[in-house]
Amino acid sequence: MRILVADAFPDEYRAELTAHGHDCTYVPDTTGSELPRTLTGHDALIVRSTTVTADAVEAADSLRLVIRAGSGTNTIDVDAAARHGVHVCNVPGRNAVAVAELTMGLLLALDRNIPDNVADLRAGHWDKKRYSRARGIHGRKVGVVGLGRIGLTFAERVAAFGAGVHALANPNRDEQTRERARAIGTVFVDSLDELARSCDVLSFHVPATAGTRLMVDRHLLAQLPPGAIVLNTSRGDLVDEDALIDAMESNGVRAGLDVYADEPAAGTGTVDSRLAKHPNVYGTHHIGASTEQAQHAVAAEVVRIVTAFASAAPSDAP
Ligand code: MLT
């Protein structure tokens, strides 16, 4: 297949695709607006952050497969792809540990004020008293919204720190998830409001869908105890950012965020987000999945999908 790799992709996995007989064009900095032109003549597209719009899908005469080298497909117009008979695959789960580790990092950073602490010391200030008010993680209640691969992996790390894991009851979970949740003593509650009311920390691990859009709204934020921590390493669409700023100002809520409603589409750009600049926020650059381990695991799965697709009949999805 003629494959366009439009985002950074580890060399050895590109070499593997070539070794399997595919013709790889590597343009790692392709932007969403360049994609319609760059895609011409390719059968498959591998993307991570680059947005795949209906225009790109429509302009791509021979495109048959789009692979999102990550969990979410919210950056791809899947309806346009379906209309044009283009298969869309994602790679869920392979970056779960990486995202869980970053979420844990944001929690620890907030509890101990690590970034401000470091910045003050770098500026030559020594203020032990100012930084001696952490509450600690042990014994706290952490609500995990979404016990999928990432949420559960985060929950296990939280439990290892001696915090109580709380989650929403859901009769549709598979037995393996139920077993892992039981093993860490997860306490199940019936509603998101109840979770917000009873927890010191609320961490979101759900995909961006019509049902999860703005789920962190004024109503939910009003249920949180004073000084609660909100963590979001899933998708920015989940959060009403103005409501979160108000909750920070009125109720001392603090937030650890890796994702935002409006992110520069390419890997670099400028941001002018009131939220990211707020002193109650420690924000990172949507880097949850950005560990070497995760990117290699994702790339290996992408190669598997391409191989399966190429060897299947044209109408079969891998
Ligand atoms: C994902 O969907 O897995 C991540 O958000 C990938 C990324 O870093 O863009």
Q: Does residue 245 sit in the same domain as residue 221?
A: yes
Whether 34 is in a domain gets the answer yes
- Same domain, yes or no, for 112 and 58? no
Average pLDDT value for residue range 99-119: 97
What local confidence, expressed as pLDDT, does residue 29 receive? 85
Q: What is the pLDDT of residue 266?
A: 61
Q: For residue range 83-92, list pLDDT tens digits in order.
A: 999 999 999 9
Residues labelled as active-site residues: 235, 263, 286
Average the pLDDT over 26-51 and give the result: 92
Residues 147 and 25 in one domain: no
Residues 35, 148 within the same domain: no
With a cut of 60, say whether residue 51 has pLDDT above it: yes
pLDDT at 267: 64
| Residues having CB within 6 Å of any atom of ligand 1 | 48-49, 70-72, 95, 286, 289
Q: Residue 269 has what pLDDT? A: 77
Domains: count for the chain: 2
* For the chain, percent of residues with pLDDT exceeding 70: 97
Q: Which of 9, 48, 74 to mutate to test the pocket of ligand 1 (most atoms within 8 A of CB)?
A: 48
The residue whose C-alpha atom lies closest to atom 4 belonging to ligand 1 is 70
In the block, residue with structure tokens 């909750």: 247
Q: Where are the alpha helices (DSSP H) in 200-291?
A: 218-223, 241-251, 274-277
Together in a domain, 105 and 249 = yes
What ipTM was estimated for this complex? Answer: 0.93
Q: What is the pLDDT of residue 32?
A: 84
Q: Are 64 and 208 within one domain?
A: no
Residue 318, in any domain of the structure: no
Q: How far is the CA of 300 from the centre of ligand 1 (A)?
A: 16
Predicted confidence (pLDDT) at residue 31 exceeds the cutoff of 90: no
Same domain, 304 and 169: no
**49 CA closest ligand 1 atom index:** 9
Residues 199, 303 share a domain:
no
Q: What is the pLDDT of residue 314?
A: 57
Report d(CA 256, CA 280) in Å as an integer.
9
Average pLDDT of 214-225?
Answer: 98
Beta-bridge partner residues of 18? none
Pick the atom of ligand 1 nearest to 74's CA: 2
Q: Whole-prediction pTM value?
A: 0.94
Q: Residue 269 domain-assigned?
A: yes
For residue 317, pLDDT beyond 60: no
- Sole residue written with tokens 């999805």: 317
Task: State the average pLDDT for the chain.
Answer: 95
- The sheet carrying 65-68 orders its strands as 23-26, 2-5, 44-47, 65-68, 87-90
Q: What is the mean pLDDT of residues 241-246?
A: 98
CA of 289 relative to ligand 1 center, distance in Å: 6
Residues 7 and 126 in one domain: no
Ligand 1 centroid to residue 65 C-alpha, Å: 19
Which of 68, 71, 292 most suits a substitution to test ligand 1, by most atoms within 8 Å of the C-beta? 71
Looking at ligand 1, which atom is closest to the CA of residue 287? 8
Strand runs (DSSP E) across the chain, as ranges? 2-5, 23-26, 44-47, 65-68, 87-90, 141-145, 164-168, 187-189, 201-204, 229-232, 254-257, 281-283
CA of 109 to the centre of ligand 1 (A): 22
* Pair 198, 249 in one domain: yes
Q: What is the atom index within ligand 1 of the atom nearest the CA of 70? A: 3
Q: Look at ligand 1, atom 9, and give the residue with the nearest C-alpha.
A: 49
Domain that holds residue 24: 2-92+292-311
CA-nearest residue, atom 8 of ligand 1: 289
Give the residue-averaged pLDDT of 203-227: 97
CB atoms within 10 A of CB 28: 12
- Mean pLDDT for the stretch of residues 104-114: 98
317 within domain boundaries? no
Asked if 145 and 216 count as a contact pair (C-beta separation under 8 A), the reply is no
Q: Say whether pLDDT at 235 is over 90.
A: yes
The model's pLDDT over 151-193, given as tens digits with 9 standing for 90+, comes to: 999 999 999 999 999 999 999 999 999 999 999 999 999 999 9
The domain that contains 167 carries what CATH number? 3.40.50.720
| CA pair distance 119, 105, nearest whole angstrom | 17
Beta bridge partners of 255: 230, 281
- What is the rounded (10 degree) CA torsion for 119, 120, 121, 122? 50
Q: Are residues 128 and 81 in the same domain?
A: no
The answer to the question of residue 305 being in a domain is yes
* Closest by CA position to 245, among listed 214, 215, 280, 270: 280
pLDDT band, very low/low/confident/very high, at 313 (cuts 50, 70, 90): low
pLDDT recorded at residue 179: 97
Q: Kindly give the number of the ligand 1 atom that is closest to the alpha carbon of 48.
A: 9
CA of 71 to the centre of ligand 1 (A): 6
> Over 80: is that where the pLDDT of 109 sits?
yes
Residues 6+ apart with CB under 8 A from 68: 47, 48, 75, 76, 88, 89, 90, 91
CA of 41 to the centre of ligand 1 (A): 26
Same domain, 186 and 305: no
Residue 315 has pLDDT above 60, yes or no: no
Task: Please give the pLDDT value at position 272.
Answer: 78
> Can you tell me the mean pLDDT for 11-28?
96
pLDDT at 318: 56
Of 286, 291, 292, 302, which is best to mutate to test ligand 1, by the most ligand atoms within 8 angstroms of its C-beta? 286
pLDDT band at 275 (very low <50, low <70, confident <90, very high): very high
